């Protein structure tokens, strides 16, 4: 670089990296939201660090793990993440292990059916906690039954490996609802199977921004602090 290119530090503001994804907030909608996943997902792994504010209030601050590879959904090296190291260190007191919790979150592109009906841009990015992502995958059992009834067991067996919620031909629509008044986190989300919905020629031409993982992994100390 040259001295003429020197700049002051850019203001990062208070936004989290998730804000850059422009996520579709189905949690604010009343009732169920119907959608169809497209493309491959990525994941983020977060540690929730317990802190006590100056006024004595207890809060849990999320920190995105920099050693979790979002595309493959695997850890690069847990021992090099300070928080992961605390969690897996056998010499760490149990009270520390209990206080620090971690979870996975999944991100994907999806066709939002209500937006599609209104003629609006239908492909949006969505976020699911791991429990919801697992529920969406479990709908493959229902999809398989539909295929058995339609094509028979022999063909269903051949298709079974292709049963992916985002598969262009054998993927499925589902309904998801968030209940903010749920008594437990496990009861907060409800996922329902709608049916296998092959993408149409028009839908196959929809443009969506591929998630390559660069949106998730913190690359600097500043990114980690603001995650």
Per-residue pLDDT tens over the stretch 169-191: 999 999 999 998 888 877 899 99
Q: What is the pLDDT of residues 29-82, one digit of tens each?
A: 989 999 999 998 988 898 888 888 889 888 888 888 888 888 888 888 877 888
pLDDT score of 83: 83
Total domains in the fold of the chain: 1
Quote the domain boundaries for residue 202.
13-42+107-225
- Provide the whole-model pTM: 0.80
> Does a structural domain hold residue 146?
yes
Say yes or no to pLDDT of 18 above 80.
no
User: What average pLDDT is seen over the chain?
Assistant: 82
Would residue 182 count as lying in a domain? yes
DSSP the chain: --GGG--PPPP-TT--GGGGG-B--GGGSSS-EEEEEEEEEEEEEEEEEEEE-TTS-EEEEEEE-TTEETTTTEES-GGGSHHHHHHH-TTS-HHHHHH-EEEEEEEEEEEEHHHHHTTS--EEEEEEEHHHHHHHHHTHHHHHHHHHHHH-HHHHHHHGGG--TT-TTT-EEEEEEE-TT-SSGGGSEEEEEEEE-PPPHHHHT-------STTTS--SHHHHHT-
Q: Is residue 131 part of a domain?
A: yes
Supply the pLDDT for residue 82: 81
Write the pLDDT tens digit of every residue in 96-132.
555 678 888 999 999 999 999 999 999 999 999 989 9
Whether 49 is in a domain gets the answer no
């Amino acid at each position: 670089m040259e001295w003429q290119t020197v700049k002051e530090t850019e203001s990062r503001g208070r936004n989290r990296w998730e804000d850059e994804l422009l996520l579709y907030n189905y949690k604010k909608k009343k009732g169920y939201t119907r959608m169809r996943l497209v493309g491959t997902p990525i994941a983020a792994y977060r540690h929730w660090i317990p802190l006590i504010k100056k006024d004595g209030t207890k809060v849990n601050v999320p920190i995105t793990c920099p050693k979790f590879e979002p595309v493959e959904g695997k850890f690069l090296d847990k021992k090099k993440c300070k928080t992961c190291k605390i969690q897996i260190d056998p010499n760490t007191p149990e009270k520390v292990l209990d206080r620090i919790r971690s979870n996975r979150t999944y991100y994907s592109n999806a066709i939002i059916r209500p937006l599609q009906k209104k003629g609006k841009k239908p492909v949006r990015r969505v976020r699911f906690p791991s429990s919801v992502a697992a529920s969406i995958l479990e709908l493959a059992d229902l999809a398989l039954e539909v295929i058995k009834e339609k094509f028979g067991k022999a063909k269903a067996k051949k298709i079974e490996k292709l049963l992916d919620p985002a598969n262009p031909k054998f993927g499925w629509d589902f309904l998801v609802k968030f209940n903010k008044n749920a008594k437990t986190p496990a009861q907060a989300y409800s996922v329902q199977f709608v049916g296998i919905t092959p993408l149409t020629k028009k839908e196959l031409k929809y443009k969506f921004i591929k998630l390559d993982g660069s949106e998730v992994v913190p690359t600097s100390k500043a990114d980690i602090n603001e995650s």
